Chains A and B, each alone.
Chain A
Amino acid sequence: MDLYPLILAFPLIGLLINAVLGRRLGVRGSGAVASVAVLLSFVGAIQAFIKVRHLVALGDGEARLVVRLWEWIHVGGFSADLSLLFDPLSVVMILVVTGVGFLIHVYSIGYMSHDRDYARFFVYLNLFMLAMLLLVLGDNYLVLFVGWEGVGLCSYLLIGFWYDRMFTTKMSNAAAGKKAFIVNRVGDFGFLLALFLIFTNFHSLNFDTVFAAAAHHPAATGVMTAIGLLLLLGATGKSAQLPLFVWLPDAMAGPTPVSALIHAATMVTAGVYMVARSHILYALTPDVLTVVAWVGGLTAIFAATIACTQNDIKKVLAYSTVSQLGYMFLGLGCAAFGGGVFHVVTHAFFKALLFLGAGSVIHAMSDEQDIRRMGGLRHKLPLTFATFLIATLAIAGLPGFSGFFSKDEILAAAFSRQPALWGLGVVTAGLTSFYMFRLMFLTFFGKSRVEPERAAKLKESPPVMTVPLLILALLSIVGGLIGLPPVLGRHLLGGFLAPVFEGLHHIEGFGHAEHLSASKEWLLMGISTVAALGGFLLAWTRVHKVGDKEGLFAKSRNGFYRLLEDKYRVDEVYDLLIVRPLSKLARFCWRVVDELVIDLAVNFSGLGVRLGGELMRLFQNGRIQSYAFFMVLGLVMLLIRVLVQQG
Chain B
Amino acid sequence: MFDYNHALILAFMLFTLGTAGVLLRRSALVVFMSIELMLNAVNLVLVVFSRLRGDLDGQVICFFIMAVAAAEAAVGLAIIIAFFKRKKHVDLDRASLLRS
- Which A residues contact B (CB, under 8 angstroms)? 617, 620-625, 628-629, 632
Instruction: Specify which of A621, A628, A629 is in contact with B96 (CB 8 Å cutoff).
Output: A621
Give the chain A neighbours of B22 by CB distance below 8 A: 625, 628
Contact A628 B23 (CB under 8 A): yes
In the complex, A628 Cα to B98 Cα: how many Å? 15
Question: Is B74 positioned at the interface, with any CB of A under 8 Å from its CB?
Answer: no
Q: List 20 A-B contacts (CB under 8 A).
A: A617-B100, A620-B99, A620-B100, A621-B96, A621-B99, A622-B95, A622-B96, A622-B97, A622-B98, A622-B100, A623-B93, A623-B96, A624-B31, A624-B95, A625-B22, A625-B31, A625-B92, A628-B23, A632-B19, A632-B23
User: For A621, A622, A624, A628, which residue has the most chain B Cβ atoms within 10 angstroms?
Assistant: A624
Q: Spell out B's residues near A (CB within 8 Å).
A: 19, 22-24, 31, 92-93, 95-100
Report the minimum CB–CB distance from A345 to chain B (whole Å): 53
Interface contact B99-A625, CB-CB below 8 Å: no
Residues of B within 8 Å of A623, CB to CB, are 92-93, 96
A642 to chain B, nearest CB (A): 14
The CA of A161 and the CA of B73, in the complex, are separated in Å by: 57
| Other-chain residue from B23, B97, B98 in contact with A625 (beta carbon distance below 8 A) | B23
Chain B nearest CB: distance from A174 CB in Å? 26
Known: A624-B92, A624-B95. A629 touches B23 (CB 8 A): yes
Closest 3 A-B residue pairs measured CB to CB? Answer: A622-B99, A622-B96, A620-B100
A621 contact set on B, CB distance < 8 A: 96, 99-100
A625 to B93, CA, bound (A): 8
- The listed residue with most A CB atoms (<10 A of its CB), out of B31, B93, B97, B100, is B100
Complex-state Cα separation, A622 to B92, whole angstroms:
10
Report chain A residues within 8 Å CB of B23.
625, 628-629, 632
The complex places the Cα of A624 from the Cα of B99 at a distance, in Å, of 10
Contacts of A629 in B (CB 8 A): 23
CB-based nearest A residue for B92: A624
Residue of B nearest to A613 (CB): B100
Q: How far, in Å, is A310 (CB) from chain B's closest CB? A: 44
- Chain B residues with CB under 8 A of A624: 31, 92, 95
> Please, how many angstroms separate the alpha-carbon atoms of A632 and B34 in the complex?
15
Nearest opposing residue in chain B for A617, CB measure: B100
CB distance from A620 to the nearest CB of B (A): 4
Distance between Cα atoms of A628 and B100 in the complex (Å): 17
- A4 → B minimal CB distance (Å): 54
| Closest Cβ–Cβ distance, residue A627 to chain B (whole Å) | 10
Docked Cα-Cα span, A243 to B37, in Å, equals 61
Quick one: closest B residue to A614, CB to CB?
B100
Q: How long is the Cα–Cα vector from A628 to B24 in the complex, in angstroms?
A: 10
- A388, chain B: closest CB distance, angstroms: 55
Inter-chain contacts of A628 with B (CB < 8 A)? 22-23
Complex CA distance for A617 and B24, rounded to whole angstroms: 22
Give bound CA distance, A621 to B93, whole Å. 11
Known: A621-B100, A622-B96, A628-B22. 13 other contacts (CB 8 A): A617-B100, A621-B96, A622-B95, A622-B99, A622-B100, A623-B93, A624-B31, A625-B22, A625-B23, A625-B24, A625-B92, A632-B19, A632-B23
**Bound form: Cα–Cα A623–B96 in Å:** 6
CA distance A620 to B100 in the complex (A): 6
- Tell me, in angstroms, the Cα distance from A621 to B96 when the chains sit together: 7
Task: Give B76 Cβ to nearest chain A Cβ, in Å.
Answer: 13
**In the complex, which residue of chain B has the Cβ closest to the Cβ of A629?**
B23
CA distance A622 to B95 in the complex (A): 7
A625 to B100, CA, bound (A): 16
B93 contact set on A, CB distance < 8 A = 623
CB-based nearest B residue for A618: B100
A629–B24 Cα distance when bound, in Å, is 10
Q: How far is the CB of B88 from chain A (nearest CB, A)?
A: 18
**Cβ of B39 to closest chain A Cβ, rounded Å:** 15
Q: How far is the CA of A617 from the CA of B99 in the complex (A)?
A: 8
* A252–B24 CA distance with the chains assembled, in angstroms: 59
CA A537 – CA B39 in complex, angstroms? Answer: 90
Q: Shortest Cβ distance from B16 into chain A, in angstroms?
A: 10
Nearest opposing residue in chain A for B93, CB measure: A623
Complex CA gap A517/B47 in Å reads 95
A108 to B92, CA, bound (A): 63
Min CB–CB distance B11 → chain A (angstroms): 15
Give Cα A629 to B22, complex, Å.
Answer: 9
For the complex, what is the distance from the CA of A625 to the CA of B91, rounded to whole Å? 11
Report how far A621 CA is from B24 CA in the complex, Å: 16
CB distance from B22 to the nearest CB of A (A): 5
**Shortest CB distance A113–B (Å):** 49
Smallest Cβ-Cβ distance to B95: which chain A residue: A624
Complexed CA–CA distance, A623 and B98 (Å) = 9
| Distance between Cα atoms of A617 and B96 in the complex (Å) | 14
Whole-angstrom distance between the alpha carbons of A625 and B97 in the complex?
14
